[in-house]
A and B are shown apart, each in its own frame.
Chain A
Amino acid sequence: MIKTAITFCFCLLLIVCCLRSVSFAEEYKFDISEIEKKPYHLGGYIELSPSLSGLDRDASLYKLKFYNREEGSAIEEYNANLQLEGSYEKGISKLYIKTNTDYKKSYLGDSQKTMVYEGYLSLKPSSSLTVDIGKKTLKWGKGYAWNPVAFVDRPKNPDDPELSLEGFIVASADYIKSFSGPLKTVSFTPVIIPVYDHLNDTLGTKNRLNFAGRLYLLFYDTDIDFIFLSGGSRTTRYGVDFSRNITPSFEIHGEFAFINDYKKKFIDGSGNAYDSVYDAKSYLLGIRYLTEKDTTYIFEYYHNGTGFTVDEMNDYFPYIDNGYNTYLSTGNDSALKRASSLTEGNYGRMNPMKDYLYLRISQKEPFDILYLTPSITGICNINDSSFSLSPELLYTGITNLELRLRMTFIAGERYSEYGEKQNNYRTEFRARYYF
């Protein structure tokens, strides 16, 4: 299977080389028909991404997931993804839809899932006002890897922060006003988020009409947002973020979120469940720095006020291990099933602990190789000193084709976050074609 994948990758590279060799025969020209505006648009991308993950058979999360199956030392996955985008404009109105279809072939068999990521009607009576109704992503916050103030968004994956996300069904408006002077722009974005059966029901408590808002200012060349969410599906929360260029090549950004009465669910080493209610404060500070040699550094520190402490994780991981030992000796998997339900959306969320560092170093077009960007990304859990390290090669030299090869290595002591993940490493090749 892996040989097939490697052969596939090489074939793809060969096709790419052939495509390049035939693409430069004609002279450059600018045909005016290329810029003609049509009322409709259909586009998107298709993506293939085979991957190989090396399993850590001693890790708690391996035991939790694979306790009743034998998959050897590595698992292969073959993913295909189709993202379609369509829009239709007439007068002040625009209909927009984005769907995502995932096909996965893995040790669990074949699976396919199609979802509407976004689909809304947008009305634009003037350049100062936009009203949107439907499913959309709001993407609030200034952080690259994490966004503690993104109260009305699904959490993004810090390993791949630019992936599309599914939105929520909302009614929102954007009112913009520009000024001269140190305050250049003010905008206000009120949002209504209904949460009922089959309507945004993953957001929190049902049968609530929630309100959120964002006030944006461009003040003394600094982007500033004030954000809130209230209404009952989630506890009331407030946030503020900022972003500013200190020099043309040095940007700083930050976010602060205050979550009222956050309820944390956790267990002790014996599996007894507890709730703790407290006001959680999460924050993020980051920089983006570009050197004269076109190296970009993105560095962020994230404090997750809703995260677990080292002690809490030291209760959770042994609980899984004990459940696994019980399963081996008696065949009873009830503790593992309970641990599995506690993991879902809780201990198992992305970066479930308190303090993290993120560093991404990317070098644009090294050795004069146009469109090639090698990079390396590290995410470190400061609390338990475990980390992941992902070197990556990205090539975008062929029009509409994006090739990415990425490896991820993870390391950490026993009962640390990365030390207990099911994988030791993961290699993924991704070919994405836009149309």
Chain B
Amino acid sequence: MTKSSITYDLIIIVSLMAMLLVSPAYAVDGTALLKQIDRNLNPESYEMYRKLINIEPDGSKKEFTLFSVKKGADKVAALFLAPASEKGRSTLRLGDNMWLYIPNVGKPIRITSLQSVVGGVFNNADILQLDYAAEYNVEKTEETGNEYLLHLKAKTKTVAYDRIRLWADKNKKLPVKIECLTEANMLIKTLYFKDVKEFGGGIARPSVIETDSPLYKGYKSVMIYANIKKRDFKDEVFTLIFMPNIESLR
């Protein structure tokens, strides 16, 4: 082996190593990333408490406290604990089906994802949120500085928002901001994820979600999270007949 051939080989090896170091190791798998974001937000099955605050342009507020339970990809239920006027109301979502139980009315009635049982900017789909990966396909993933930008498209016409733009923190793989859009790319609302907090059991996620909407100028709604715990439930909990009994799960 001549000296020049050794030098030539070394140049090739060093060049290859340099190429490996400077180029991206792999393309981001958007679907896997979205599933990771879902799991980082919540365990697949859980119980949690939330407070919803609607804030009007003059600063006046209305607050709601909810106890929520979720199982698997498509079962979620929530019970209103406060205020007194809403206490005992419960909502149930099984995939695309949603119901509202009002104690005085005494039977569940079907509701839609675009309605809001609390008024304000959050609608029923926001309150009874399923995994994003269950409802959306990832069309495109971009990397911008410390964030990923995921362009999501609803899997079916029954999903509340046809398109979503989701900005996620690269390190934590948690959402930072979500824009909800119509099919014609009109902005319906923006969700801001804030104050990442340890909830125990390995759950660290934003504890506050703020939202505003060009459709409700000057109005703001806030969702504050507490006591998120991994918990398994029987399927029977997520049925119409069980809706008046969700309190018994607390």
The chain A residues found within 8 Å of chain B, CB to CB, are 20, 23-24, 28-30, 32, 34-35, 37, 43, 45, 89, 94, 124, 126-128, 130, 137-141, 144, 161-165, 174, 176-179, 184-185, 187, 189, 216, 218, 221, 223, 243-245, 247-249, 251, 253, 288, 290, 292, 294, 296, 364-365, 368, 370-371, 396-397, 399-402, 434-435
Interchain CB contact under 8 A, A245 and B84 = no
**7 residue pairs bridging A and B, Cβ less than 8 Å apart:** A28-B63, A162-B105, A187-B239, A245-B110, A248-B113, A368-B218, A371-B119
A141 to B109, CA, bound (A): 10
Q: A43-B87, A396-B119 are in contact. Are A139 and B240 (CB under 8 A)?
A: no
Interchain CB contact under 8 A, B107 and A221 = no
Residue from A141, A216, A221 in contact with B241 in the complex, judged by beta carbons closer than 8 Å: A216
Cβ proximity bits B102-115 to A, threshold 8 Å, 1 near / 0 not: 10111101101111
Please give me the residue from chain B that is nearest to A288 by CB atom.
B110
What residues of A have a CB within 8 angstroms of the CB of B240 in the complex?
185, 187, 216, 218, 223
What residues of A have a CB within 8 angstroms of the CB of B104 in the complex?
162-164
Top 8 nearest A-B pairs (CB, nearest first) are: A178-B235, A139-B106, A434-B85, A24-B59, A434-B84, A139-B107, A24-B60, A176-B236
Residue from B55, B85, B112 in contact with A249 in the complex, judged by beta carbons closer than 8 Å: B112
Interchain CB contact under 8 A, B51 and A30 = yes
Cβ proximity bits B205-230 to A, threshold 8 Å, 1 near / 0 not: 00000000000111100101011000
Interchain CB contact under 8 A, B242 and A245 = no
Interchain CB contact under 8 A, A400 and B51 = no
What residues of B have a CB within 8 angstroms of the CB of A141 in the complex?
107
Q: B128 interface residue, CB < 8 Å from A?
A: no
Shortest C-beta distance, A157 to chain B (Å), equals 13
Most buried by B among A94, A288, A399: A399
A296 to B116, CA, bound (A): 12
A165 to B56, CA, bound (A): 35
Q: B36 interface residue, CB < 8 Å from A?
A: no
Shortest C-beta distance, B63 to chain A (Å), equals 7
- State how many residues of chain B have any CB contact under 8 Å with chain A: 62
Please give me the residue from chain B that is nearest to A365 by CB atom.
B119
A400 to B85, CA, bound (A): 5
At the interface with chain A, which of B12-20, B22-30, B89-97? B89-97
Residue from A28, A32, A45, A434 in contact with B61 in the complex, judged by beta carbons closer than 8 Å: A28
Please give me the residue from chain A that is nearest to B248 by CB atom.
A124
Cβ proximity bits B37-77 to A, threshold 8 Å, 1 near / 0 not: 00000000000010101111011111101010000000000
A434 to B226, CA, bound (A): 26
Shortest C-beta distance, B244 to chain A (Å), equals 9
Please give me the residue from chain B that is nearest to A150 by CB atom.
B107
A370 to B41, CA, bound (A): 30
Interchain CB contact under 8 A, A243 and B239 = no
What residues of B have a CB within 8 angstroms of the CB of A32 in the complex?
226-227
A63 to B195, CA, bound (A): 69
Interchain CB contact under 8 A, A370 and B219 = yes
Interchain CB contact under 8 A, A37 and B250 = yes
Interchain CB contact under 8 A, B65 and A34 = yes
Shortest C-beta distance, B113 to chain A (Å), equals 5
A32 to B65, CA, bound (A): 11
What residues of B have a CB within 8 angstroms of the CB of A184 in the complex?
94
Interchain CB contact under 8 A, B62 and A371 = yes
Interchain CB contact under 8 A, B83 and A400 = yes
Residue from B51, B84, B242, B250 in contact with A127 in the complex, judged by beta carbons closer than 8 Å: B242
A372 to B240, CA, bound (A): 29
Q: B144 interface residue, CB < 8 Å from A?
A: no
Shortest C-beta distance, B215 to chain A (Å), equals 8
Please give me the residue from chain A that is nearest to B50 by CB atom.
A30
Shortest C-beta distance, A96 to chain B (Å), equals 10
Interchain CB contact under 8 A, B242 and A221 = no
A218 to B95, CA, bound (A): 12
Interchain CB contact under 8 A, B242 and A400 = no
A179 to B119, CA, bound (A): 34
Q: B3 interface residue, CB < 8 Å from A?
A: no
Interchain CB contact under 8 A, A128 and B60 = no
Interchain CB contact under 8 A, A174 and B96 = no
Interchain CB contact under 8 A, B217 and A290 = no
What residues of A have a CB within 8 angstroms of the CB of B239 in the complex?
176, 178, 185, 187, 218
Interchain CB contact under 8 A, B237 and A127 = yes
What residues of A have a CB within 8 angstroms of the CB of B60 in the complex?
20, 23-24, 397
What residues of A have a CB within 8 angstroms of the CB of B114 in the complex?
248-249, 290, 292
Interchain CB contact under 8 A, B107 and A140 = yes
Q: B175 interface residue, CB < 8 Å from A?
A: no
A223 to B238, CA, bound (A): 14
